[in-house]
Amino acid sequence: MTQPAAPESAPHVELTIGPVAHGGHFVSRHEGRVVFVRHGLPGERVRARLTEHDDGARFWRADVVDVLDASSDRQDHVWDQADALVAARASIHVAGGAEFGHIRLDAQRRLKAEVFAEHLERGAGIDAAALGFAGVEAVAREDELGRFWRTRMAFAVDAGGRLSMHPHRSDELVAVTSMPLASREIQRLSPWDVDFSGFARVEIAAPAGGDEALVLLVPVEGQNDAAGVRRAARAVMAQLPLSASVAVLTQSGGSAADGRGALQRISGRTWLSESVELASGDTHDYRVTGEGFWQIHRAAPATLTEAVLGIVAPEPGQAVADLYAGAGLFTLPLAERVGAGGRVLSIEGAPGTSKDARRNLHEYRQALIAQGRVERTLRDQLQRLSGGRGTRELDAVVLDPPRAGAGKRAVELIAAAKPAKIAYVSCDPASFARDTADLRRRGYELVAARVFDLYPNTHHLETVGHFARVRP
């Protein structure tokens, strides 16, 4: 490994690690000041390097470099490149993306449950235990060390053409020589052995069902020689040990899915074929464009669809909305269940991804696919659904917003449609708690919440909240 040396000159302190905080940090104190520490565990006594320590700052940040008194929840890190102790000994940077890999999987889930409960209490005034919240759930067919789940990976490329990642809060690049969280399909492509010279970013997606992977190459900025880019892309293709689709994404910021970038086929297809098999035996097939949104964990599409359908329990003839709908993961099974006499309003903001939804739902006349921002288009679409007779009320709403959550305006519009049930899928406990507080003010109560471990060995968690309308 030839990463640049980590700044050994930074001051070191001895700390006792306190409770977990959101973002992969643990709270500690040094001479009265709060220090957010990474790579530790509650109760541990550690030596840590201060990574941010301005005199006037309210809090400092630190990385553990040595463990003096270890927690029984500590294990050998699942990925040596993300192991802070190894990195400190070798004076190299630690790769980001597996910041909980030094923690046993069951303990990771306990910590994530604490983070969820604390946010719910602080942000929405709800006691998770009173809600019947029983902890973070593992998903089907999990590897015992929480590896091989990522069907999508995004990498930077360093000056030598090697796949790289940024360390936490850093512009440096760490060349990646392995990545145990990547799915076995991605491992088989062995992208860390490929020379990606000429490209600034590489995205690899490999459908969980074993269909051909897609390697998306983003040229370095200012590269205007189209023939040269194609040559470089073919050189990448020639190094891949297996057949894969290869495409070039030319863009000026944003992604192909937002309509600003253009995908150019080098070999195979510029899209992926995803198949989701539910416990009921129903299988749904989807097409997802190169950089379009799809859930990352191989088990996420089925896990989340089942959780959502369990809440909505759609019946023939009902009217439901799927907001922040992506390529229509939930829209499709909802459309099947409400049947030809029902309605599913599906709203997605990114043009490329919305086009996917349109294709994926083209056989379902009951699905109304709308492209636009929920906060701007929901009311118009409900008016359209009512056929000019005011605003159509809904039986249920599913929403799955990005990390920032839905926000005040979207919550207001959702509540105005008076759905009896809401299924809220969230990847951020803070915005989920904030929106929960808003929904409560608008006549909804959170009646149950499930949290799934869809991001093992990282601090991330996925919540599915079930809200019921309690006030007219």
Ligand X SMILES: C[S@@+](CC[C@H](N)C(=O)[O-])C[C@H]1O[C@@H](n2cnc3c(N)ncnc32)[C@H](O)[C@@H]1O
Binding region for ligand X (CB under 6 A)? 293-295, 324-326, 329-330, 347-350, 353, 373-375, 400-402
CB of 377: closest distance to ligand X in angstroms? 8
Rounded-to-integer distance, Cα 220 and Cα 247, Å: 15
Catalytic residue among 307, 385, 406, 427: 427
Residues 178 and 439: their CA atoms lie apart, in Å, by 44
302: alpha, beta or left? (left if phi > 0; alpha if psi -120 to 50): alpha
The residue among 42 and 401 lying less far from ligand X, judged by its C-beta, is 401
Cα gap 168→38, rounded to integer Å: 10
Nearer to ligand X, 233 or 329 (CB): 329
Tokens encoding 425: 């899928």
Instruction: Using the structure block, give the residue that is written with the tokens 């000056």.
Output: 159
Q: Whose Cβ is closer to ligand X: residue 160's or residue 254's? A: 254
Give the residue among 397, 468, 433 at the shortest CA–CA distance from 126. Answer: 433
Residue closer to ligand X (CB basis): 42 or 349 = 349
Half-sphere exposure (Cβ direction) of 458: Cα atoms closer than 13 Å: 22
Known binding-site residues for S-adenosyl-L-methionine equal 295, 324, 348, 400
Q: Cβ 468 to ligand X, closest distance in Å?
A: 21
Give least dist CB 134 to ligand X, A. 24
The SS3 assignment for 410 reads helix
d(CA 250, CA 263) in angstroms, rounded, equals: 7
CB of 427 to ligand X, least distance (A): 6
**Smallest separation, CB 337 to ligand X (Å):** 16
Strand, coil or helix: what is 356? helix
Which one, 27 or 154, has the nearer CB to ligand X? Answer: 154
427 catalytic residue (yes or no): yes
Q: Provide the token pair at 46.
A: 């550690």
| Chain residue whose CB lies nearest ligand X | 326
Residue carrying the six token digits 């086929």: 265
Catalytic residues: 427
